[in-house]
Amino acid sequence: MSECSHEFYKGYQITAAARLTPVAGDCWQLQPVYRPLAMIAWRSGGQACEKRFDDPKHVFPDPNDALRVALAMAKRYIDNLNAAHANPPDDDTAASTTLGKIPCPDFDVKHD
C-alpha cells in the first residue's frame, strides 16, 4: 500500500510515493511508517530517461510528509541537473506527455 503523487516540474515528470514500510513486531501499538520514494522521467534527444531514488534513512508516520519529502528530493535533483546542463529535457512539451503517466514507484525495483 502506498500514497502516490504525479507532478510536472521544469519539463520533467515526477512520480512521488509514500511507500508503507512494515515494522518489526506484531504489537498493535506500533504505528505504520512511510518511506519517501521518487521517480523522475523525461525525454532527452528523443530518448526516454528516468531516475529513481529514495531516502532509506528516514521514515514518516504520515504519508503526506513522506510525499512532500519525495517531491522535494526530486525537485532538488532536477535543479542540480539544470544547473549542470546535463541531459536536459526536450523543449517540446508534447514530448513529455508521450511518456504517459508513470506508475507508482516500487521499492522492490533496483534503482540508481
pLDDT tens for the chain, 112 residues long, are 457 888 999 888 999 998 887 765 555 556 778 889 999 988 877 788 888 888 778 888 889 999 999 999 999 988 887 666 665 676 654 444 445 555 665 545 444 4
Which of the 8 DSSP states describes residue 60? B
Name the phi and psi angles at 32, rounded to 5: -70, 150
Which of 10, 11, 77 has its CA nearest to residue 38?
A: 77
In which residue are the cell numbers 525495483 written?
109
DSSP SS3 for 108: coil
In this prediction the pTM is: 0.72
Q: Among 23, 16, 13, which residue's Cα sits nearest to residue 37?
A: 16
| Cell numbers 521517480: residue | 39
* CA neighbor of 34 nearest in space, from 76, 77, 5: 5
